[in-house]
Amino acid sequence: MSTSSKEQFSQVKLLINGEWVTSQTKEWLDVVNPATQEVLAKVPLATADEVNAAIAAAERAFATWKDTPIGARMRIMLKYQALIREHSKRIAAVLSAEQGKTLADAEGDIFRGLEVVEHACSIGTLQMGEFAENVAGGVDTYTLRQPIGVCAGITPFNFPAMIPLWMFPMAIVCGNTFVLKPSEQDPLSTMMLVELAVEAGVPAGVLNVVHGGKDVVDALCTHKDIKAVSFVGSTHVGTHVYNLAGQHGKRVQSMMGAKNHAVILPDANRTQALNAIVGAGFGAAGQRCMATSVIVLVGESKQWLPDIKALAQKLKVNAGCEPGTDIGPVISRRAKQRIFDLIESGIREGAKLELDGRDVVVPGYEDGNFVGPTLFSGVSTDMQIYTQEIFGPVLVVLEVDTLDEAIALVNANPFGNGVGLFTQSGAAARKFQSQIDVGQVGINIPIPVPVPYFSFTGSRGSKLGDLGPYGKQVVQFYTQTKTVTARWFDDKSVNEGVNTTINLK
């Protein structure tokens, strides 16, 4: 990158030991508005020395932060959640510009992350251990939940507010220190949230930020001082992170790809079900790991396909900043081309293209990465549009005759992130939730992401590692359990002599 272009666009900083640092790297990437192709900023690919400096700062800070009283950590989170609320609209505007979401969806992105920060304020009870008195004569046993050290987080482009807020607040409120690597495609709103964390009182070195690609990811996964790695993103990268970090002795949680189904029974509330699945399929331009991407019409609900098409045709495609927008642009030209290629594969493999979103042109935003709502029927489970995660506004429709067939179809898919069932039958719902092999189940809810007091519980090909983000599970992930067995004697205690057995009496 030339000196003149460096001066033309703002440079995204690193955060190392409480200092905002301009990277010394020679490699910079453009942060691009996907609706206009305007370059919003330049983001560095941090050097190895900078990554090492961030980890070293976190290691030094851990020595004192781990002993900071729980109440002090909690009060930082209380201030932090207040600052996020105060600045949410400003952050949402930047998020919309760099990621493409509508302003309403950008605010939702921030709010779902804010909920986790609010839950972090409950750390006084979340981090409690257990106690049992008199497990043997005069012997008590209790557990302590202690921080593990320096943790790292690698976040995706599709939720630049929510996913970072799933990670570092819970990690640091448990007494750990953290190195965050945001997505290099849209880091600006993430950095605004990091600035607010510093303003809230997070001490120097407790939270650090580096930017980069594979080299930085690999450095975080292999560095001797990193104790845990949290990842959200594609299956390909997530598998790499899980294997590499695991081989180097790290705790790892890796949340990966998805192919989320919505099963529609004929007795479902027709209006509610159709509105829900169309919104969940096309919202955020389909760029949610929990987006509904497959509709399974059961029995007489097969007749509802024209209604789905009619609803999809009403959705407005435009820049996220424009009022009334339902579908904004996808993140990049590369992503748009990949979606187009998969649509073409569906046609080639014999699916019926009910609605084609490839010819969308948005006046005033002709250079935008827009894909309109796209709908396929006649889809079989061997087609690429079914087997691959499209990550765009494309819905595919399959048809079966019975609920049992629908359950078998969903369970045969390798992914296990989320699934929805639409019905008014309690018996059908109970059978479905019991027999379906998917981590997160919605009953008349299309995107069953749990609230933060529960944990995100994707499964099978969508998740590696046994503990999920946020909720009680993430406290287990970011702490180690120490069990203490103690006996105290007073001066009048009877000396029982030497005991060579393992029994406590």
The answer to whether 224 and 202 have CB atoms below 8 angstroms apart is: no
Residue type, 209: V
The answer to whether 15 and 164 have CB atoms below 8 angstroms apart is: no
**Cα–Cα dist 451/442, whole Å:** 13
**Cα–Cα dist 446/443, whole Å:** 8
- The alpha carbon of 424 is separated from its chain's Cα centroid by a whole number of angstroms, namely 31
Look at residue 97 and give its three-state secondary structure.
helix
In 39-148, where do the E strands start and end? 39-44, 131-136, 139-147
Identify the bridge partners of residue 201 per DSSP, sorted by sequence position: none
Q: Which of 121, 151, 221, 289 is catalytic?
A: 289
Residue 151 annotated to the active site = no
Instruction: Return all residues near 366 (Cβ < 8 A) that are at least 6 apart.
Output: none
Look at residue 484 and give its three-state secondary structure.
strand
Among 105, 19, 13, which residue's Cα sits nearest to residue 61? 19
Instruction: Return all residues near 283 (Cβ < 8 A) that are at least 6 apart.
Output: 105, 291, 326, 327
Identify the bridge partners of residue 234 per DSSP, sorted by sequence position: none
Q: What is the CA radius of gyration of the chain?
A: 25
- The alpha carbon torsion through 480, 162, 237, 25 (nearest 10 deg) reads -100
Does residue 37 come out as left (phi exceeding 0), alpha (psi in the -120 to 50 range) or beta? left
Residue 133: how many other CB atoms lie within 10 Å = 9
Enter the tokens of residue 226.
């990193």
Active site residues: 289
